[in-house]
Amino acid sequence: MLAFITTLRHPHNSADYGHVESLLQDTLASLVQQSSDDYIVIVVGNRRPAFRLPERCVFVEVDFPPPSTRHGPRTGPAAVIWDKGTKTAIGLIAAREFAPDYVMAVDADDFVHRDVAAFVNARPGRDGWWVEQGWMYSRRRNACRLQRKFHHQCGTSLIVRYDAFDVPPDLTISSTQREIFEAFGERFEHILEHGWALAWWQNHGLVMEPLPFAAAVYHVGHGENHCDNGLFGFARPYHARLHDDFAINPSRTPRSTLWASYGLPALRPDLRLPRPAFLQPKSYLANYSPPDRAEFGATASKLTRTQ
C-alpha cells in the first residue's frame, strides 16, 4: 500500500483559506483517480475542510499554533518547515493504522499521476523513488512545462519505504510539535524537508531510483504558494494528458490558452536572482523560535474517516 500524506497550512498563514481548501479539493481529485486501489490519503490540518472528503481519505485535525505571526503564505522557510514537518509527522503517525509499505508526501496544491500507486505497489522491496521529471503548471495561463530535476523545486517528489522513517513509537497523533521535533532529532529537518531529503536518504543507505515517467505536477502562481516560483517564458499549452493523467481541467479556451502560452504573457521576464549554493543555510530551524511557545503543550489531534 502507498500512503499519500498532505498537510494544510494554518488559516492565519493564508491569503484566502477558502482558496486553500479549493486547491486541496483539486489535489484530492488527482490522488483518488489512482489506477490501483491499494492506497490511502491522509490529510493533516487545523480545520476540517468544508467539502466532503473522497473515499480512501482521512483527516487528522491538529490544534498547532500558527508558525508565524505574519498573515499570508509568505512566512519564510523556517516557519514552513516547522509547520509542514510536524504535520507530516502526524500523518506518518496516523499511517500506522493502515500499515503502508510506502509513503509519498504531497503538497496540498499539486497533482500526482494516476499510475503512481500501481507502479509502486508492483515493486515491493524497493527502497524508494524520486520524481526526476514532472510538469510545472500555471492555471492562470492554462499552460505547463516539463521540468528536469523536479525534486529540487517541488515537495511532491519522493516516495520512501514507510519503515525507513522509523517513526518513534512513543509519538501519537496527540503529540505536541516540540515532542515531535525532539523525538525525530536531527532527522526532522532532513527527512521532512524535500530540498535535502533525497541526498539524506541516499547518504544513509537507501537505494533511491528515479521514476521513469513524469509523475507529478507542481502548481505555481495561484496566490497561496510559499515561494515565488512561477511559469515564466514560453510554455506548452494545456493538453489532454493533464486531464487524463492528473485530473486537471482546462481553465481557458483554446484560443486564450495559445495567447497565454506564446503571446505577451509569455514575455514576462523572470527577475529573480538565484541564491548561490554556498549561501544556503545548513539548517533553517537553528535560530527559529515558533511564536506562542506556551501553546506547545496545548495540542490535541483527532482522526476522522470518510464515511
| Residue 208 falls in which region: left (phi positive, over 0), alpha (psi -120 to 50) or beta | beta
Sign of CA dihedral 101, 98, 88, 223: positive
Domain boundaries, the chain: 2-305
> What is the tens place of the pLDDT at every residue in 62-71?
999 998 888 7
Q: What is the pTM of this model?
A: 0.91
In this predicted model, which residue has the larger pLDDT, 224 or 217?
217
| Residue 72 falls in which region: left (phi positive, over 0), alpha (psi -120 to 50) or beta | left
- Among the residue ranges 97-101, 151-155, 201-205, the one predicted with the least confidence is 151-155
> What is the tens place of the pLDDT at every residue in 19-35?
999 999 999 999 999 99
Q: Among 46, 32, 57, which residue's Cα sits nearest to residue 111?
A: 32
Per the CB < 8 A criterion, the answer to whether 284 and 82 are in contact is: no
Fold of 2-305: Spore Coat Polysaccharide Biosynthesis Protein SpsA; Chain A (3.90.550)
> What is the tens place of the pLDDT at every residue in 274-307?
666 555 667 888 888 887 645 434 444 455 544 3
* pLDDT above 90 for 131: yes
